[in-house]
Amino acid sequence: MPVAVILLALAALASLSLFVGAIDMSPADLWRDPEALRLMLVSRLPRTLAAMLAGASLAVTGQIMQVLARNRFVEPMTAGAGQSAALGILAATLFVPGAPVWIKMLIAAGATLIGSVGLLLMIRRLPPTQPLLVPLVALVYGGVIGAAVTFVAYQGDMLQFVQIWLTGELSGVLQGRYELLWIAGGVALGTWFIADRVTVLALGDAAGRALGVNVAAVTAAGLAAISLVTALTVVTLGAISFIGLVVPNLVSRLIGDNLRAGLPLTASLGALLVLGADMLGRVVRMPYEIPASAMTGVIGAALFLALILREPKHG
């Protein structure tokens, strides 16, 4: 079972992650040194959990996005959803600076939803015979919204904030500053309930209707999950790309596209990748850190290229 192996690796990596960082620490220190225990509870543990929650939920919602877009090469974070989330949180910060975090969060999620619906409306008009047109259009679409974000931020003198939202990294994760990600994890877990219906939609909307699936409701639920997870991740960590692209493609190769059956593998693989990327980022230039999103970009791109090159030819 690949899931068991991945879970084992994840557990090992997670325990290791608790002891890797700029401040040296060993398991024994936890007993001797109250300061070490505090560091563990306030920083290392939250950071490890945040990486796993974000990775798992990004991977799961990336897969849903690919079914809804009928294309394997799109990913919410780069296809306009991530940028829309940044636009939403930027607008919230500019126009309702005093609002509580959850209001800002809802504004960001709303913006993400609008951005994702816009993308779907656009790419569903593209000819199905040109599958590479979809990621191309998605990339341009994401780029345009990203440019709008930069423009608005420049006008509002907020460029340094935007950098935080557009570059995902976990060095700032502390107890009390990452808990929104539990909601993202909950949403990803909740997609288990629509997973089989989403899989039916992979045969097309018409086939879905023929099987009595409420196509509009399932599509809406999927988009809501994508938007919530994307917005929550951008707001707490910043954009982390490639996870939602690479993991679903990997899982598809390994065990196929039955979403419900694949959910545990997708989630644990996503968690493993982000945690691994963050840990690598912590150690390659000690004591400095490389943002997790830069690492996932490198690892993800390499994995993705390997996948494409190894894709068995058919037809």
Partner 1 sequence: MISIRNVSHAIHGAPILHDISLDLPRGGVTALIGPNGAGKSTLLSLIARLVKLQSGAISVDELEVGKAADRVLAQHLAIMPQSLTVSARLRVGELVMMGRYPWHQGRPGAEDREIIAAALAKFALEPLRDRFLDALSGGQRQRALVAMAYAQGTDYLLLDEPLNNLDIAASRHLMGLLREMAEREGKSIVIVLHDINYAAAFADRIVVMSGGRVAADGAPGEIVNDGLLRDVFDTNAEVRLIDGKPVVLV
Chain residues in the site for partner 1 (CB under 8 A): 67, 70, 196-197, 199-200, 202-204, 206-207, 209-214, 252-253, 256-258, 260-261, 314
Nearer to partner 1, 285 or 313 (CB): 313
Contact present, 183 and 232 (Cβ < 8 Å): yes
Give Dmax (Cα) for the chain: 65
Closest distance to partner 1 from the beta carbon of 249 (Å): 10
**What is the rounded distance in angstroms from the CA atom of residue 170 to the CA atom of residue 197?**
34
The least distance separating partner 1 from the CB of residue 74, rounded to whole angstroms, comes to 14
First CA to last CA across the chain, in angstroms?
30
Specify the residue for token string 């196509």.
215
* Shortest distance, position 214 Cβ to partner 1, whole Å: 7
CB within 8 A of 82, min separation 6: which ones?
76, 142, 166, 230, 234, 239, 241
- Taking the complex as a whole, how short is the minimal distance between the CB of residue 79 and partner 1, in angstroms? 18
- Minimal distance in Å, beta carbon 192 to partner 1? 10
Tell which residue, 78, 58, 61, has the closest CA to residue 139.
78
HSE at residue 7, side-chain half, CA atoms within 13 A, is 7
Kindly state the tokens that stand for 237: 């960590």
Nearer to partner 1, 85 or 213 (CB): 213
- CA atoms of 262 and 216, how far apart (whole Å): 23
Q: How far is the CB of 1 from partner 1 (least distance, A)?
A: 15
